[in-house]
Amino acid sequence: MTLDAAVAYDVWLRLIADEELYRQTLAGTYRTYARELTEEQMRALDGFHAEPGLRWNIENLRFRTALEAGSTLASYLPRTIKMLTKGDDNWLQDIVFEYLASHRWQEFGQHRFAECNRFVAYIKDRIVKRRITPPHFDVVVDFEHAIVQLLQATGTAPAAAWTSARELPDDALVAATLTRGPAVAVIELPVDIRPWIESVDPTKGDVHERAVTLLAYVPSLTETHRIKAIGDGARIVLEAFDGRAPTQDVVARLAAAYDLDRDDVLGLVRPWLRDGVLAVVASPG
């Protein structure tokens, strides 16, 4: 009797995801264990059980899946992974294998940012609750997760958001209404891990026990992200440009509240506009 290919494929996916069904199939006890399956699904399991390469096929698939996911995580969360594994690739493979098993081997493939987001949640929900992590590990995780989300924002921003004017003469600048660019993040960290950020290695450089505010942004879709530290004054100015008032009104408000000089404010605004940290709000119509 011919077996429907869709049924066989569905059962194959169940075998990968369901660890106990996989074990019962290897042992030949699946008909007692999986009574809810249809007879056609059982016949698919008959075929998989009879296949001598079943164990190799599934374990090899899982191994390669964990290897690919681990490569993604090491690329986008390099400091986090280094702190978790101390640079041991075998340890990384074990961690990722267990992580994917906990999600029934539903990996994200080319959706790499989604994989990173889910792994960060796994770290916070599972890993940190059962092992002692290095000092400032949580700060590193939060920083790298913020960068992942920043990069992810480039995929959801409308195309028009990247075409804002980058240079304006003074009269046009003070008349323009400005808001944050399409991929900008202000990251508040309780300790200064910039030596680790610059070296991409949490074993190199000393952390400074003081808070720091980082401005992270993507200038354009052809450039990588940039990071710089900003002080309280720069942060206040940046937050004031919320897309609701022209620059001249924002400058007047800042001058009244903080005694900030017009030229000092514009001195911050011009490079931010050039780098895409700020963008001109398009006029209606």
Positions in the chain whose pLDDT score sits under 70: 1, 283-285
In angstroms, the first-to-last Cα distance of the chain is 66
Give the rounded percent of residues in the chain with a pLDDT score beyond 90. 90
Looking at CATH, the fold of the domain delimited by 160-280 is given as Outer Surface Protein A; domain 3 (3.90.930)
Q: How far apart, in whole angstroms, are the C-alpha atoms of residue 59 and residue 30?
A: 19
pLDDT at site 221: 92
Phi/psi of residue 258, nearest 5 degrees: -125, 5
User: Contact 196/204 with Cβ under 8 angstroms?
Assistant: yes
Distance CA 34, CA 41 (A): 10
pLDDT at 2: 72
- H or E element at residue 179: strand 178-180
Predicted pLDDT at 35: 87
Helices (H) and strands (E) in the chain, counts: 14, 5
Find the angle CA(63)-CA(140)-CA(179) to the nearest 5 degrees. 110
Q: How far apart are CA 218 and CA 146, in angstroms?
A: 13
Where are the chain's structural domains? 5-51, 63-133, 160-280
Task: Return the CA Rg of the chain.
Answer: 26
151/144 Cα distance (integer angstroms): 11
Please enumerate in sequence order all residues whose Cβ is within 8 A of that of 191, keeping only pairs 6 or more positions apart, or say none: 136, 139, 207, 208, 209, 210, 211, 212
Q: Across the strands, what pairs with 278?
A: 180
